[in-house]
């Protein structure tokens, strides 16, 4: 399964059955763990967050992967001297 297929499955599974959502998430995680793309959640208004890679809005929950671009989320590194 490609990264794009995994993301499509996740999008599709949001509309379907819980069992299919779990299966899709498991497959997507396996694919996304192989991807080197990483980002972090940027704080936004009212306690919501946006992906630092694709800038898509996700709400208040912070997930280990962006559901839109598939980037693995890590904590942002502090810049030296700040």
CA dihedral 12, 14, 10, 18 (to 10 degrees): -110
Per-residue pLDDT of 2-40, as tens digits, reads 777 777 776 766 666 666 667 777 777 777 666 567 889
| Threshold 0.75, pTM exceeds | no
Cross-strand pairs, 17? none
68: tokens are 């839109």
Per-residue pLDDT at 13? 65
Per-residue pLDDT of 34-61, as tens digits, reads 656 788 989 888 888 999 998 988 877 7
Extents of the domains making up the chain: 1-34, 37-74
Per-residue pLDDT at 82? 37
Per-residue pLDDT at 60? 77
Res 80 pLDDT > 60: no
């Amino acid at each position: 399964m490609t990264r794009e297929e995994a993301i499509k499955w996740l999008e599709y599974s949001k509309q379907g059955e819980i069992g299919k959502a779990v299966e899709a998430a498991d497959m997507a995680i396996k694919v996304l763990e192989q991807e080197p793309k990483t980002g972090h959640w940027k704080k936004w208004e009212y306690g919501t967050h946006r992906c630092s890679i694709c800038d898509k809005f996700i709400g208040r929950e912070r997930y280990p992967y962006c559901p839109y671009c598939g980037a693995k989320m890590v904590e942002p590194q502090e810049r030296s001297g700040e």
